[in-house]
Amino acid sequence: MANLKMNNPRTFILIAVIAGLFIAIGHLIAGPRGALFALVLAGLMNFYAYWNSDKLVLRMYGAQESSAQTHPDLYRIVQTLAQRADLPTPRVYIIDSDQPNAFATGRNPDHAAVAVSTGLLRLLDSQEIAGVIAHELAHIANRDTLTMTITATLAGAIGYLAQLPFLFTSHRSDNHKSHGAIVHLIVMILAPMAAMLVQMAISRTREYSADAIGAHICGDPKALASALRKIEQATHRIDNPIAEENPATAHLFIINPLVHGGMDNLFSTHPTTANRIKRLSHLEINQPKTIIKNKGPWG
């Protein structure tokens, strides 16, 4: 858990940068009044995201809540691993998607949820699913879910806010239009890009730590590594239309659901899977623990 906590100051700085971008865009749009408007809007959005982050993302992906009756094996894995991690059992959701993937959300461990796709349940065996769930529980334990959801909300909002300048240019004099149009065009291009870079930096630092903590929770780093390999291979073949329409949420998933390249740098949405697997291979777990004896993929 110590490695996860070391990332907190950096995360707070990155979120502050996003908020600063938000305010700067507001100033470029309408001067001091625009900056004040953006500041108030950013505060309101953070407040809304804090209380509704789980509902917002789950509703976006059409997730349906599961239970011990509807998915007994999956629920038993979640419950067992949550007990090992000393966490309340999160709510379990199923996303009807052929792309295998998973994410966690919620403002704190008492109001957390884990969502897995139907494609993931079909592709992975029980030990691999346990590795994925343990990774998501690591995010919940460190409250990454709140940080990452707020970041996604602000980063997405900057993209929309950057479109507003052209709504204001039509009301200005011709003397201001030519200069303003150039500034606004720059804002439209650079602001969403800058917000996405900050968002990606937050995600990258979190994934390595969640992999390490998750491996200790499930007791089987090889199973988590195998799951990461299978999920990445499948995401290259299977689209996730909702994620494509909402790229600001891509960093929530265990593997980037969008088409992505192989550069493992500060600005990658996720570290490369090869590097994540390499780190997992160097972990030493004293006593790996079997979650469920069944080793076949789930239907």
Residue 200 is predicted with a pLDDT of 66
CA gap 204, 120 in Å, rounded: 22
More confident residue, 267 or 132: 132
Residue 245 is predicted with a pLDDT of 84
For 167-196, the pLDDT digits (tens) are: 455 445 555 555 556 666 666 666 666 666
| Confidence check: pLDDT of 81 > 80 | yes
Q: What is the DSSP letter of 253?
A: B
Distance of CA 210 to the CA centre of its chain: 12
Q: Which long-range contacts (CB under 8 A, 24 or more apart) does 44-53 make?
A: 45/153, 45/154, 45/157, 46/150, 46/153, 46/154, 48/153, 49/149, 49/150, 49/153, 49/154, 50/107, 50/146, 50/150, 51/107, 53/105, 53/106, 53/107, 53/145, 53/146, 53/149, 53/150, 53/153
Residue 115 in 3-state DSSP?
strand
For 102-112, the pLDDT digits (tens) are: 999 988 899 99
Mean pLDDT of the chain: 79
pLDDT band with cut points at 50, 70 and 90 for residue 160? low
128 a catalytic residue: no
Would residue 106 be called left, alpha or beta, if left means φ above 0 and alpha means ψ between -120 and 50 degrees? left
More confident residue, 93 or 56: 93
Residue 254's identity, in one-letter code, is I
Residue 22 is predicted with a pLDDT of 75
pLDDT band with cut points at 50, 70 and 90 for residue 11? low
Q: Which residues pair with 102 in a beta bridge?
A: 116
Q: Which long-range contacts (CB under 8 A, 24 or more apart) does 190-195 make?
A: 191/21, 191/24, 191/25, 191/158, 191/159, 191/161, 191/162, 192/155, 192/158, 192/159, 192/162, 194/21, 194/158, 195/18, 195/21, 195/154, 195/155, 195/158, 195/159
In the predicted model, what is the mean pLDDT of residues 222-233? 97
Catalytic residue among 136, 207, 232, 244, which? 136
